[in-house]
Amino acid sequence: MLKIDKLEGGYGSVQILNGVSLAVARGQMVALLGGNGTGKSTLLKAISGLIKPWRGSISFDGERIDGLRPDLIVRRGLVQVTQGKEAYPALTVEENLRLGAHVRKDRAGVRRTLERVYEYFPILADKRRQHSATLSGGQLQMLCIGRGMMSEPKMMLLDEPSAALAPQVVLDIFRIIARICREGMTLLLVEQNVRMALLLAEYGYVIRDGVVHIEGPADRLISDDNVRLSYLGGTVADRDAAMNLRQ
């Protein structure tokens, strides 16, 4: 569904992406992993149309999208879910959610999607009339995931959904992500919680210095000595908890 081929890009004269290639199949959850400054966020911006790649190509659902405006990419069914801090604090929970449906004209369909989001996230239904500034960090992340769902996308790009959250909240967020994938959504999961991401995903890419350094089935990467030594120390999620989320 998503194919990136030898993508190069950056900001001004500073090159960040040095030939990234990866693919995500329909219905698959793929983990994109790596430390700070490795190019993960730049890659997401290029996929979403927020920056224009210098060279290479991005194809989605069989069509080239590199160079398209962000709103046109959303209309094609590819949505980036930002971190919770990017909710609009002066708007209510429901107003934030409805912003995610701005490309849709089917009012009845938007209402159905909204109710489905509330079924995924009952706490958001309880707080629908409250300003998002009153939400906790975990609730804000749920809000951003729900807002991404409101456009009825074919695929979502999740940008570090566990960032700065307490361990139990992280498990709650990943439980929801696992359910979304089980129900048919295609996901590219960008995460620094490497262990949890690999336990949930089917395939993984480790990016370093703007190129894919290691790739493979997630269950192989989690036992890879290079991945384990570089990325798996100090994680908070345990294997049993993560495996339960997939069931």
Q: What percent of the chain has pLDDT over 90?
A: 78
Looking at 109, 135, 152, the residue that finishes a domain is: 152
Pairing of strands 78-81, 63-64: unpaired
- Asked if 22 contacts 212 with a C-beta cutoff of 8 angstroms, the reply is yes
Q: Do 123 and 175 share a structural domain?
A: no
**Cα–Cα distance measured from residue 97 to residue 144, given in angstroms and rounded to the nearest whole number:** 8
Q: Do 160 and 236 share a structural domain?
A: yes
**Cα–Cα distance measured from residue 245 to residue 5, given in angstroms and rounded to the nearest whole number:** 32
Contacts of 29 (CB under 8 A, 6+ apart): 177, 181, 186, 187, 189, 200, 201, 202
Q: Which CATH number goes with the domain that contains 235?
A: 3.40.50.300
Average pLDDT over residues 47-76: 96
Q: Do 113 and 72 share a structural domain?
A: no
Looking at 152, 167, 187, the residue that finishes a domain is: 152
State which residues form the domain around 9: 2-77+154-245
- For 96, the token pair is 């934030």
Pairing of strands 2-11, 55-60: antiparallel
pLDDT tens digits, residue range 126-140?
999 999 999 999 999
pLDDT tens digits, residue range 172-202?
999 999 999 999 999 999 988 888 899 999 9
Q: Do 105 and 73 share a structural domain?
A: no
pLDDT tens digits, residue range 102-126?
988 899 999 999 999 999 999 999 9
Counting Cβ atoms within 10 Å, is residue 223 exposed (0-12), middle (13-18) or buried (19+)? exposed
* Cβ-based neighbour number of residue 211 at 10 Å: 16
Terminal-to-terminal C-alpha distance of the chain = 25
Q: Do 241 and 119 share a structural domain?
A: no
Q: Do 95 and 35 share a structural domain?
A: no
pLDDT tens digits, residue range 209-223?
999 999 999 999 998
Q: What is the DSSP letter of 133?
A: G
**Of 2-16, 153-167, 204-218, 222-236, which range is least confident?**
222-236
Q: Do 140 and 234 share a structural domain?
A: no
Q: Which residues does residue 41 pair with via DSSP β-bridges, in sequence order?
A: none
**At residue 128, what is the residue type?**
R
